[in-house]
Amino acid sequence: MANELEKENAAHAAMDFVEDGMTLGLGTGSTAKYFVESLAEDIADGLVVRGVPTSEQTRRLAESLGVPLVDVEQVDRIHLTVDGADEVDDHAQLIKGGGAALLREKIIANASDLMIVIADSSKKVEMLGQFPLPVEVTPFGYTITAKKAYDALKKAGVLKPMIKVRTGPGNKPIVTDGGNYILDCSCGAIPDAPLAAALLSNIPGVVEHGLFINLARTVIIGADDGATIFEY
């Protein structure tokens, strides 16, 4: 079970990278929540920053805590994004999207000068793939897209991918902030994450996938008594 203290310590460590005047990408999820809360405390003490939320969930949280927000269309630079991950390997490759916010998360991360990943120790893995890989797809033709995603993952070395659409109440597909569906791809292991990412990106109907390659430059793994910072 994820260690809440580890998450909190990782989030606190990320605050050392925050400076007055920054525009910050605010991640989504249980670990990113701790960062937004820490940010709000420092803002109350006089820190001057503004945030760009990666989901409506994060927007609501930040607004409730008094964190100044700015629309992504109104910024010309995002200095730093702090976000969690569902898995992170030794090459700072990530699986993200367990919270169904991967599209906005990747747009903001890619636009940032620096992406910092904060996570508890359970998220550190030798090879990506134990956590189901989310793939955001258009509702139109999603069953066809799912078959193409299966073929792509097989070509990338995944032995037995299993793909299902993420559902919610009433067994209806969950709809993302962008109006799309999520395919959860159970892979077991993804031996070549960059190849899988490239193949998935080429499929018509795939809006985005949860493989974050060459985006994170700093990874902070929380512990009970602090956090360890890895630079890439």
Q: What is the mean pLDDT of each run of 10 residues along the chain (232 residues)?
A: 88 98 97 98 98 97 98 96 98 96 97 98 97 98 98 98 97 96 98 98 98 98 97 96
- The two structure tokens encoding residue 202: 């080429």
| 74 to 12, 69, 70, 105, 228: CA distances (angstroms) | 28, 11, 7, 17, 34
Positions annotated as catalytic residues are 105
Half-sphere exposure of 128 (CA within 13 A, CB side): 31
> Cα 228 from chain centroid?
19
pLDDT, position 97: 95
* pLDDT number for residue 2: 57
Q: What is the CA radius of gyration of the chain?
A: 17
Of 25, 225, 31, 27, nearest in space to 124 by CA: 31
Q: Could you tell me whether strands 23-26 and 87-88 are parallel, antiparallel, or unpaired per DSSP bridges?
A: unpaired
3-class SS at 195?
helix
Q: What is the pLDDT of residue 22?
A: 98
Beta bridge partners of 73: none
Provide the pLDDT for residue 221: 98
pLDDT at 12: 98
pLDDT, residue 194, reads: 98
> Using an 8 Å Cβ cutoff, are 60 and 86 in contact?
no
